[in-house]
Structure 1
Amino acid sequence: MSEVTMPQVTRAEIAVTACSDLFRGQGDILASPAGIIPTIGARLAALTHAPDLMLSDGESTIYAGVPSLEHQGVPGGFLPYRELFELIAAGKRHVVMGGAQIDREGNHNFSAIGEHTKPHRQLLGSRAAAANTINHRTSYWIPKHSRRSMVQQVDFVTGVGRTRAEHAGKGAARFHQVHQVVSNLGVFDFNGPGHTMSLVSIHPGVSVEEVIESTGFDLNIPDAVQSTRLPNRQELQLIREVLDPLHRREQEVRS
């Protein structure tokens, strides 16, 4: 399937494709994306390279098919919390979480901003982030890559990075897998020294210098920096005509 040329593709559509690729080779697992672009990405994966991916409404219903953003999915099954927790404990889930902060070691924060003893901004709260990171594959979506979101050290630890998990003991580290970060500038993993963040690819139109300037810590940069792949024609058609015909993706990442 041929790729389309850059002028035809928006930054948001490149980010959707990168989020879709997070689920490549995953098999029969539950996809739990948070955010417009990760949601489109997971549904794109289910329509293309990951047909066994399970999709849900984020609460208690498994979809029978792959709905667009604008339509309620057709129920295909019931997913009560007891079964969801069984999936989590068995590692049969891949969650893509957003967050206010993420640091060099993959620690993640959407609890609060400011000093630990007196934060000045309350956020969503911990929810199940720590359990996600120590039980199954977890990725992150950062729609506004900046020194405020990519920080040297998070103010609060909500999701657990690899080093912190190892320090907590075998129970926390055994199934820990923080996979990748997709932002509006590029794709990143934690294959650097000491499980620190490394640049995997930059989105077309973005420079390495822009990524470095927008990151609040020393990022591992490979000698040869790859470009994030463009969606092929089939993927682009699915994004634009089937999954997100109202272009809601452009609200999250503007070109």
Structure 2
Amino acid sequence: MDCPTCEASVDAYVDGELSARESAAFEQALTACPECRRRLQTARTIGGLLRDLPAERAPDLLRARLERDLRASASEPLAQVHRWRRRSAMAASLIVAVGVGWLAGTLTSQGGRQSDEMIASYLRVAMAETPVEVASSDRHTVKPWFAGRIDYAPPVHDLTADGFPLMGGRLDVVAGRKVAVLVYRRNQHRVVLSLWPASAGDNVSPTVTQRDGFALAEWRHAGFGMRAVSDISPGEMSSFAAALDRAVDTDR
């Protein structure tokens, strides 16, 4: 099993969806792939957080919709069914968590509200059927899309040359404010960048931290506050922030 196949098999391995032969090949491939081992640890961490959620009965309407969609999925290819079930299970769990205030309480006490907001923004992208609302690597397509939707024009740059191609943009709400979000790709991973006009004008170098398998970056550059989150390594996150700053400076 090569490294890309190993990385793509992480979720199926955690969910027990691989055959005995596939599981053995996956475990053997792990010994030669540090990135896959880190990806596996992230998946297990998220799974553990979800298993710790309070057991609340789902609303009848939600239960009915899930049962309907499960029946409809019976005719779909097996891989599609597995992906749909993982996405539905995570979405349902997070709906319950928000309903009982778990994300606002337990996670805040463990790592800080700001980190929680960043990870929640990443999860909204990861769970979405379409992770971006405008899908393009062309800045001249993505940047105009924000016009009229928010009250500022975010800097938009494709970072393909640095290994972080732009997937597109979307809107999110952070601390009660609607903000621009750009989604980049790093191999099989997504990097979710939120940015808004900064109250202070001086630049602040990126601070990169790690929590629960996620790399978190926060900095201020060229009049914008920036936050980025992904399940890539902290070193890769530092490279992403540096590449973005260079692109912004080149455009000024």
Under a length normalisation based on structure 2, what TM-score does the superposition of the two structures give?
A: 0.29
Higher relative contact order (CA 8 A, sep 6+): 1
Decide which structure has greater helix share.
Answer: 2
